[in-house]
Amino acid sequence: MIRFEVRQDGTGRWRLVNRTPSGADVLAREAGARDRLPWRQAVEWLRRGGGEVEIIGTPAEHFRWVLHAADGTVVAESPAVHRDPAVCRVAYSNAERAARTVFGGLREPTAGAGG
């Protein structure tokens, strides 16, 4: 079951989660930046598949995706749990799809959008 969670402590922290009988996977979450977008705006970017996706590797050889708005603002990101850049791109597509599942709407395919 896909679920959207927002912390009610005023921080604006959110996450999009795929809950399974054996646990949960975080598909997307708020960006770690200080000046992050309000959750509704960030999720709308993710849902529409807009912006540019960057795949970032860690020293531990894991990857995460980071979604940037046109002005460079970091919109959303995944945890660094993916072991391959191609799998990380698929995870971004899955997060987009999950956001549309939770918040509705389909987007028209756009050349270059969403990586």
Give me the number of domains the chain comprises.
1
pLDDT digits (tens, 9 = 90+) for 80-93: 999 999 999 999 99
E strand or H helix at 7? none
Please check whether residue 112 lies inside any domain of the structure. Answer: no
Please check whether residue 114 lies inside any domain of the structure. Answer: no
Residue 82 carries which DSSP code? Answer: B
pLDDT in the model for residue 33: 63
Please check whether residue 60 lies inside any domain of the structure. Answer: yes
Higher pLDDT, 32 or 15: 15
- Which tokens belong to 67? 């979604």
pLDDT digits (tens, 9 = 90+) for 39-74: 888 888 899 887 899 999 999 999 999 999 888 888
Task: Tell whether the model's pLDDT for residue 31 goes beyond 90.
Answer: no
Distance CA 87, CA 93 (A): 10
- Which tokens belong to 17? 């989660």
Q: What is the CATH number of the domain that holds 46?
A: 2.30.29
Burial class of residue 30, CB neighbours in 10 A (0-12, 13-18, 19+):
buried
Asked whether the beta carbons of 20 and 3 are under 8 A apart, the reply is no
Please, which residues bridge with residue 6 across strands? 14
